[in-house]
Structure 1
Amino acid sequence: NIQLAGPRSRSWPAHTRRIVPRPAPPMDKYTKIRVVGKGAFGAAVLVQARNRPSEQFIVKEVDMSRLSAREREEAKKEIKLLASFNHPNIVRYRDSFLERNQLHIVMDYAEGGDLHGLLQRTADAKQRLPEDLVLDYFVQLCLAMKDVHDRKVLHRDIKSQNIFLTQNRKVVKLGDFGIARMLNSTVELARTACGTPYYMSPEICDNKPYNDKSDVWSMGCLLYELASLKCPFDARDMRGLVVKILRGAFPPLPHCYSAELSQLIARCLARDPHRRPSVNELLALPLIRRRIERFLTEQEAASEFAHTMIHRNPNRNKQHPAMGELIRAPPTPAPRE
């Protein structure tokens, strides 16, 4: 496709015109491989870069014509939010563009699939995930959620389908911020009920305001699922599920897991959100803290914790002197494979 650039009047000499190729549509940079998911307003497509076939990405296609004005603004906010993240445990945003009234959001592709698929395969094989792997996955989720909450954002839809696996299933990445919410202040309470029913917190079930502690509840549900291969709360219908969540009782973990792990889950699944730890408090727990060095270099650890733990809430710093030690003298990272 070509177009004539320059004056269009026939009174101009022909030599003053020049032929300029039209820019190719942005989506032409990619070759579609297959559709990997569909939603109410669009689809997720696996693509590869035409000039670098070894590089694969996920393109979220959103039909803007089906969105209300408010939903279009929410889509723009999501893009701005995604672009702000640069964390090793959060799926990386690459690009976005509008083409034929379709919004395209280009994200990194996680070649290991999602955590939900891994748990299903493990259950089908009648196996269990080793506790070390369970904790490694949870620590990485905590690090990702720390970055999210430090930006005054609630994820609101933490579940195994939104946790993706890379690097031979050793690294997990948090994705799908489609219903994330920017908060005006860290302690502000949201009132919009979102999320997946099995991971809903009691305060959401009870139609009460909620904050970052609701994400921590969902993280506790996911941690339980990693160990038991099933959700802590299940029922035949929504009403029965809500009743079980509000009661807060769940079956014990299999005997092959430690009491420390059970206690960690119990803390995350405290019915009263005030009794639940924040993500920063989770990262200060000895069970979690001693594993951080496996995923962060000394420089990354200093950067990760200094801005939050030093000046964000001084009173909370005093409660966790061990985290202060981590900031001042991070442990030597384990060799990376």
Structure 2
Amino acid sequence: MSFTLPFIIDDKYRCESIIGKGGMGTVYKAVQLNMGNRLVAIKVLNEDLAGDEEFRKRFENEANTVGQLQHENIVQIYDRLDYEHTYCIVMEFVDGESLQRIIDHAVETNTPLSDARVVRIGAQVARALKVANDGGITHRDIKPDNILVLKDDTVKITDFGIALREDSTIKTQTGVSLGTPKFMSPEQVIGRGVDGQSDLYSLGVCLYYALTCRVPYDAENPIAVATKHLYETPEPISKFNSSCRPALAQVVMEAMAKQKPDRFANGDEMAQALEASLGDGATVSIETPRPHKSSIMEHGVVMSESHPHTPTRGIKVGIGAGRDKNNSTGIFRFAKPLMSSLWPAIVAVLIVIGIVGASLLVQRSTVSDGRTGANGTLARPGMSKTDTSVGSIINNVNPFGREIIYPDRITAEYKTMLYNVDQLTSQGEIIKARQLMEDFHTKRPDFHSDEIDMRLDLLTSQLPLSVADVQKLLAARRERKGVALLSQTPPNLPLGLAYMTAARDMFKGLTGTYEQEAEIGLLESQVKATTGTVNNAAFAKLSARADEILSQMSIKSAPVPSDAEDVLSQLISQQPTGYSRWIELAEVFRRQGYTDDARVLLQYVERQAPLSGDERKIAGRLYRSLEKQTVPE
């Protein structure tokens, strides 16, 4: 029902004009006749939603939630009443504009908000969120539209319609996402663990937006945006606003840390950090030393038997950093992954190269033998090609200040280990071969570590599924490779989904449960949303190259072209339903010896390809053939 202005509600509120309209209702500017013509704002729930139990409860929830909060930076609720078969909330009238409108103007003029103004606004919001959180309330929809700014820059938070109250009988189903995708925290995306720190993440996104005139994560659809909150690292603020103080940029980036322990503990802490960032001589110290082997283990990068090594060709994974709450120096420490106990490779893989803020490209297919000198001793970068004596090796110190000693006896031990591994592998003793290499790597962690990591990954992929004791190794490898595929730029969603689904199935077979069902559901939706979106020119070029590769591979003795995996992976990413390409990539992996990668792809095709097509039957036949070849005697 539409109301003709002006109209009177409950004989005391005269609605005179419309302030704004939303999906749930309309907000009117009104005069409270029995309170000296005090200006108020009245939100009227759309009548077609008034009969909907969920919307009615949300509407009542807003009134009940805000009604118990008293803070100068939170819009106050005065009354709640019924009117013409719908419901109304009477609240404080704010004579200002939304932060969204302010940012819109900044975008039009290409002039981001000043550091001082961003701090004034952000600190007020943060302190108000602290009060709300202390009262057991999480807003869950902090965004520029819900931050009202008065002419003197006083801030008012509004719209607690989907707020979460600890004492509320209205519960949100686990795994259900509520909020606005561009401003949602990672935990809101997966629908678990939402609390006050989730609101601080959203506030961080708002401040990033105000400082750069762009949101940190954007895409063509909400699911793609939500996925970026889980897997991608935002561009540095300085890239878009060179005048922003580094200390302020640091505070904003910390607020947007993927993992809650790496964010500010509460709104007061964030407000204090914002205000301190404007101080004279405020600086940011970022320390990114090459980690000690044990510290790499701590971050889940170098894996033991329960976490096998998984270098991934062509995969770039970003670095995250967060402030150590126990470190008064303000020096950054490396952030742990979003779900450190679950997906350990999202942010920790590239710790070593944090010094230059770059991304590492690990290529498992190109292991150079150029490090071995003419006399069989190890020649390291920076040494003369002819200076390979034991003495020169002992006296050389690596760039990180640690002396590395590689005498001939260790090289001989290494060569012997490789020979024995090759012998065991040729006999089908993959488990013993892998254990032998793992033992050497544990004993000599710095010796040819890259090559050993790649060989261990290859051996892990060749482990037989029929041996229960090694299934956890394969499950962990699948999960890490899936995360790596989702973390690269741009993410390869179809292949990432295939690996995560395969990991889930194996983990559920081992433990009966898998906690990342919500994430996999999100990926499935995103893959469906991207199906059919093909860049015709680029796709045609890749398809032509793929046909050339297949022609070369038709000769049994011919090596696999070096770009085969990359070309076919890109085609799959652009056209997930082109299942023949999945089968072709599985063959590439099989020829390279990466048996489990072939298993993952063939199993995915067998499940997803149309029943009426040939691809499902072919994939099933190849999968069973592959399993017969890997069953131990």
| TM-score (structure 1 length as normaliser) | 0.71
Partner letter of residue 260 of structure 1? A
Q: What corresponds to 2:533 in structure 1?
A: none
Q: What corresponds to 2:38 in structure 1?
A: 55
Residues 1:80 and 2:52 are matched in the alignment? no
Among residues 101, 109, 112, which one is paired with 1:117 in the alignment? 101
Q: What corresponds to 2:116 in structure 1?
A: 132
Q: Distance in 1 between matches of 2:81 and 2:190?
A: 39
Q: Distance in 2 between matches of 1:212 and 1:39?
A: 25
- The answer as to whether partners of 2:61 and 2:161 remain within 8 angstroms in 1 is no
Residues 77 and 247 of structure 1: CA distance in aligned 2, closer, same or farther (over 3 Å): closer
- Distance apart, 1:76 and its partner CA: 3.0
Q: Distance in 1 between matches of 2:95 and 2:77?
A: 16
Partner letter of residue 71 of structure 2? H
Residues 1:32 and 2:32 are matched in the alignment? no
- 1:270-305, Cα deviation, whole Å (9 max, x unpaired): 1112222222462474443699xxxxxxxxxxxxxx
Q: What corresponds to 1:273 in structure 2?
A: 260
| Structure with the higher fraction of residues in strand conformation | 1
Q: Distance in 2 between matches of 1:81 and 1:202?
A: 24
- Distance apart, 1:320 and its partner CA: 10
Among residues 177, 184, 192, which one is paired with 2:160 in the alignment? 177
Q: Distance in 2 between matches of 1:43 and 1:93?
A: 16
Residues 139 and 106 of structure 1: CA distance in aligned 2, closer, same or farther (over 3 Å): same
Residues 62 and 137 of structure 1: CA distance in aligned 2, closer, same or farther (over 3 Å): same
Unaligned runs of 5+ in 2: 1-7, 279-324, 329-633
Q: What corresponds to 1:238 in structure 2?
A: 222
- 1:234-288, Cα deviation, whole Å (9 max, x unpaired): 1122343233222231122211001111111121111112222222462474443
Q: Distance in 2 between matches of 1:41 and 1:207?
A: 22
Partner letter of residue 38 of structure 1? K
Q: Distance in 2 between matches of 1:193 and 1:239?
A: 11
Q: What corresponds to 2:250 in structure 1?
A: 263
- Distance apart, 1:183 and its partner CA: 1.4
Q: Distance in 1 between matches of 2:269 and 2:18?
A: 37
Q: Distance in 1 between matches of 2:51 and 2:263?
A: 37
Q: Distance in 2 between matches of 1:172 and 1:282?
A: 18
- The answer as to whether partners of 1:284 and 1:320 remain within 8 angstroms in 2 is no
- The answer as to whether partners of 1:89 and 1:144 remain within 8 angstroms in 2 is yes
Residues 226 and 83 of structure 1: CA distance in aligned 2, closer, same or farther (over 3 Å): same
Among residues 121, 143, 146, which one is paired with 2:130 in the alignment? 146
Q: What corresponds to 1:250 in structure 2?
A: 234
Residues 141 and 114 of structure 1: CA distance in aligned 2, closer, same or farther (over 3 Å): same
Q: Secondary structure at the match of 1:61?
A: strand
Q: Distance in 2 between matches of 1:164 and 1:275?
A: 28
Alignment of 1:81-120 (within 5 A): 81-120=65-104
Q: Distance in 2 between matches of 1:94 and 1:57?
A: 9
Q: Distance in 2 between matches of 1:108 and 1:227?
A: 29
- Distance apart, 1:68 and its partner CA: 3.3
Residues 284 and 81 of structure 1: CA distance in aligned 2, closer, same or farther (over 3 Å): closer
Moved more, 192-201 or 276-285: 276-285
Alignment of 1:292-307 (within 5 A): none
Q: What corresponds to 1:19 in structure 2?
A: none
Q: Distance in 1 between matches of 2:250 and 2:277?
A: 17
Among residues 215, 221, 241, which one is paired with 2:205 in the alignment? 221
Residues 182 and 128 of structure 1: CA distance in aligned 2, closer, same or farther (over 3 Å): same
- Distance apart, 1:63 and its partner CA: 4.6
Unaligned runs of 5+ in 1: 1-24, 292-317, 322-337
- The answer as to whether partners of 2:121 and 2:155 remain within 8 angstroms in 1 is yes
- The answer as to whether partners of 1:31 and 1:47 remain within 8 angstroms in 2 is yes
Q: Distance in 1 between matches of 2:268 and 2:152?
A: 26
Q: Secondary structure at the match of 1:80?
A: helix
Moved more, 263-272 or 172-181: 263-272
Q: Distance in 2 between matches of 1:160 and 1:262?
A: 18
Residues 177 and 320 of structure 1: CA distance in aligned 2, closer, same or farther (over 3 Å): farther
Partner letter of residue 104 of structure 2? Q
- The answer as to whether partners of 1:190 and 1:211 remain within 8 angstroms in 2 is no
- Distance apart, 1:94 and its partner CA: 1.6
- Distance apart, 1:229 and its partner CA: 1.8
Asked which structure has the greater RCO (Cα within 8 Å, sep 6+), the reply is: 1
Residues 242 and 34 of structure 1: CA distance in aligned 2, closer, same or farther (over 3 Å): same
- Distance apart, 1:179 and its partner CA: 0.4
Q: Secondary structure at the match of 2:88?
A: strand
Highest CA radius of gyration, 1 or 2? 2
Residues 189 and 289 of structure 1: CA distance in aligned 2, closer, same or farther (over 3 Å): farther
User: What is the aligned-residue RMSD (CA, Å)?
Assistant: 3.0
Moved more, 53-62 or 69-78: 69-78
- The answer as to whether partners of 1:95 and 1:105 remain within 8 angstroms in 2 is yes
Q: Distance in 1 between matches of 2:191 and 2:98?
A: 30
Partner letter of residue 259 of structure 2? D
Q: Distance in 2 between matches of 1:270 and 1:240?
A: 19
- Distance apart, 1:189 and its partner CA: 9.9
Among residues 130, 145, 155, which one is paired with 1:161 in the alignment? 145
Q: Distance in 1 between matches of 2:246 and 2:27?
A: 40
| Structure with the higher fraction of residues in helix conformation | 2
Q: Distance in 2 between matches of 1:41 and 1:78?
A: 12
- The answer as to whether partners of 2:123 and 2:272 remain within 8 angstroms in 1 is no
Q: What corresponds to 1:328 in structure 2?
A: none
- The answer as to whether partners of 2:255 and 2:264 remain within 8 angstroms in 1 is yes
Q: What corresponds to 1:21 in structure 2?
A: none
- Distance apart, 1:95 and its partner CA: 1.6
Residues 319 and 150 of structure 1: CA distance in aligned 2, closer, same or farther (over 3 Å): farther
Q: Distance in 2 between matches of 1:246 and 1:132?
A: 30
Q: Distance in 1 between matches of 2:78 and 2:271?
A: 32
- The answer as to whether partners of 2:123 and 2:274 remain within 8 angstroms in 1 is no
Partner letter of residue 119 of structure 2? L
